[in-house]
Amino acid sequence: MNALDQSLLVAIVNRDGVFHYVNSKFCEVSHYGKGELLGQNQSFLDSGCHSKSYLKEMWRMIQTGKVWKGELRNRRKGGTFYWVDTTITPFLNGNNKPYQYLIIQIDITKGKAAEERARYLAHHDSLTGIPNRTKFNDFLTHAVVEAEKNQQTMAILVLDLDRFKMTNDSLGHRIGDQLLEEVAGRLRTCLRGRDFVARMGGDEFAILLPDISKDNDVVLLIQRIFDSLKQPFQIASQKIVVKGSFGICNYPKDGEDAETLLRNAEIAMNDAKQKGKGRFNFYVPELHKILHQTLKIESALSHAIELEELKLHYQPLINLRTGEIIGLEALLRWERPNEGLISPVHFIPVAEETGLILPIGEWVLRTACEQNRAWHEMGHGSLTISVNVSSLQFEQDDFIERLDRVTNATGLSAQYLKLEMTESLFLKNTEKIIERLNHLKALGYKLSIDDFGTGYSSLSYLKRFPIDSLKIDRSFVNNIANDADDAVIAKTIISLAHNLRLIVVAEGIESEEQLVFLQEHQCDVGQGYLFSRPVPSENAGTLLAKKSYRRKEKKHR
């Protein structure tokens, strides 16, 4: 027994299960001394976690003279548990009846703990500790069966945090992870005891509300969550306010199985985000039609360049003091056979969401630069071409390298290309953005903030950006002549820009009244239907031949 003493737990019990012998390893693992074990029935080590049928089957086998092998969870002295891989061999008398049993065990506690941890992680999120997607799907599947049996209704909610990627990028993943932990904690405090919440991955959570029949009850819960998230999260030295978008669907109205219900809730959530974020949206069947149309657009758009379905139209930019055409903006158009022009409102968001904006954006830059180079060769040597650049394009590590390749290949000097970016881009990662803008400025490119006044830029940051111009959004120009608030905003933007030595561009000019107002307040450049609609390159050549727009021409539409 000496070799066995060193590595295995060894014991001998009589036919009634009373210990006659234990080795030192048995005592070490069980935390009992030999004197405490000998004479005791082995059942006093029972942890209570095994079913009666499991133990009954073990005794049945060994009492019939057969060897039993299995795993047992026993209780140590002090109350903690340990696992042993166990073999019980009967000693038989002359009548082939057991009179003793040899128990040989291997301590597998560490392995079982790792196994239990792996099983836990398979169904729980390692960061927040709440159930994961797998566990939610299993729970929802079971809940559907119960709801059908009991004729109950349920609500399934999917929550996606708004602008979470910006938090991760600007503050770091450590703070982002802590934020997710605290969001999960607040969600739990908002729910009823029978509700179920899970992290589905990334910054997306799902909530199951069993036995809930009124949409108003769902709305009240969502409002409670919104109110909770409004309270700033204090993480390290940062105060962070979180908003989210909810999608909601109901069982059985919106689906009769877990997969359909979860998919429809996610569809509703994505629709809520597209409509402005920080809101909730109930699923309706029409959303499937929208999704189908989006997928159709995505599929067709992926081949639009090679099929030469993409076109650029050009809208002139007018010096409001002289009437001179000083540049044109390149505007993307998509014309499909048998369908005609597809509005950018429908396909640009799809391109940005799917990443197709990257090859499309590069095609636009190359085509616009080639066209401007051609106009220069026709005698319009001072003409600038303006091109919209998406945030996704701008954030690519090789954006400047690709841009230089385009201008070098087309022969267009950087000073004749103006890059227009929406102001929301400038808050994503301020230092990185400024560094990249400074690099572009040093290379000679002109830089403009598009749709100014509609985004989230702070005016205190504006002076730090090496930009050349601001473009007043058309929403402020529309009623500039008869809405006092819009007039004040426009005048303020013009004054602010001039104080920062920036050029001001007003888009969406459609009337003489708008034009007169902007001229009286020294707006520098105008663009809109009053001068010209966006036109194909051949028509733009005709516009350029005019050289300028005099007063008598300003009603041209």
DSSP for residue 108: -
Domain's final residue, options 54, 84, 114: 114
Q: Do 518 and 486 belong to one domain?
A: yes
pLDDT, position 190: 93
DSSP codes, 379-419: T-TT-EEEEE--HHHHHSTTHHHHHHHHHHHHT--GGGEEE
The answer to whether residue 257 sits within a structural domain is yes
Domain's final residue, options 59, 83, 114: 114
Q: Do 490 and 369 belong to one domain?
A: yes
The answer to whether residue 344 sits within a structural domain is no
Percent share of the chain, pLDDT over 70: 94
The answer to whether residue 166 sits within a structural domain is yes
Q: Give the least confident one: 257-266, 308-317, 485-494.
A: 485-494
- Domain of residue 223, residue span: 124-284
Q: Give the least confident one: 93-97, 348-352, 376-380, 409-413.
A: 348-352
Q: Residue 22: is its pLDDT beyond 50?
A: yes
Q: Give the least confident one: 51-55, 142-146, 479-483.
A: 479-483
CB neighbours of 460 closer than 8 A, spacing ≥ 6? Answer: none
pLDDT, position 554: 41
pLDDT in tens, 30-50: 999 999 999 999 988 998 888
Q: Do 90 and 168 belong to one domain?
A: no
For the record, the structure tokens of 84 come out as 């042993």
Which CATH number belongs to the domain containing residue 359 in this structure?
A: 3.20.20.450
479-503 mean pLDDT: 88
249-276 mean pLDDT: 89
- Crossing angle for the helix pair 173-190 and 215-230, to the nearest 10 degrees: 140
The answer to whether residue 385 sits within a structural domain is yes
pLDDT, position 555: 40
550 pLDDT tier (thresholds 50, 70, 90): low
Q: Do 245 and 379 belong to one domain?
A: no
Q: Do 77 and 204 belong to one domain?
A: no
What SS3 class is residue 106? strand
pLDDT, position 274: 77
Which CATH number belongs to the domain containing residue 6 in this structure?
A: 3.30.450.20
The answer to whether residue 399 sits within a structural domain is yes
pLDDT, position 241: 84
Q: Do 90 and 137 belong to one domain?
A: no
pLDDT, position 165: 80
Q: Which residues pair with 207 in a beta bridge?
A: 157, 197
List the beta strands (DSSP E) in 288-336: 310-319, 325-336
pLDDT, position 427: 62
User: For the chain, what is the mean pLDDT?
Assistant: 88
Q: Do 224 and 328 belong to one domain?
A: no
Q: Do 419 and 376 belong to one domain?
A: yes
Q: How many residues does this entry show for the chain?
A: 557
Query: Pairing relation of β-strands 325-336 and 340-342?
Result: antiparallel
Name which of 503, 550, 552, 498 is nearest 324 in CA terms: 550
Phi–psi pair at 406, nearest 5 degrees: -65, -50
pLDDT in tens, 419-464: 999 877 766 656 788 889 999 999 999 999 887 766 544 555 677 7
pLDDT, position 6: 66
The answer to whether residue 293 sits within a structural domain is no
Distance CA 385, CA 514 (A): 24
The answer to whether residue 346 sits within a structural domain is no
Domain's final residue, options 114, 144, 162: 114
Distance CA 367, CA 373 (A): 10
For the record, the structure tokens of 129 come out as 């500790």
Q: How many domains does the chain have?
A: 3
pLDDT in tens, 497-548: 898 899 999 999 999 999 999 999 999 999 999 999 999 998 988 888 876 6
Distance CA 330, CA 365 (A): 9
Distance CA 253, CA 156 (A): 12
pLDDT, position 460: 59
Q: Do 404 and 531 belong to one domain?
A: yes
Which CATH number belongs to the domain containing residue 139 in this structure?
A: 3.30.70.270
What SS3 class is residue 14? strand
Q: Do 128 and 110 belong to one domain?
A: no
The answer to whether residue 343 sits within a structural domain is no
Phi–psi pair at 554, nearest 5 degrees: -70, -10
pLDDT in tens, 240-252: 888 899 999 999 9
Q: Do 66 and 162 belong to one domain?
A: no
Distance CA 138, CA 151 (A): 20
350-361 mean pLDDT: 87
376-386 mean pLDDT: 93
Q: Do 324 and 405 belong to one domain?
A: yes
Distance (Å) of CA 345 to CA 3, 169, 293: 79, 28, 13
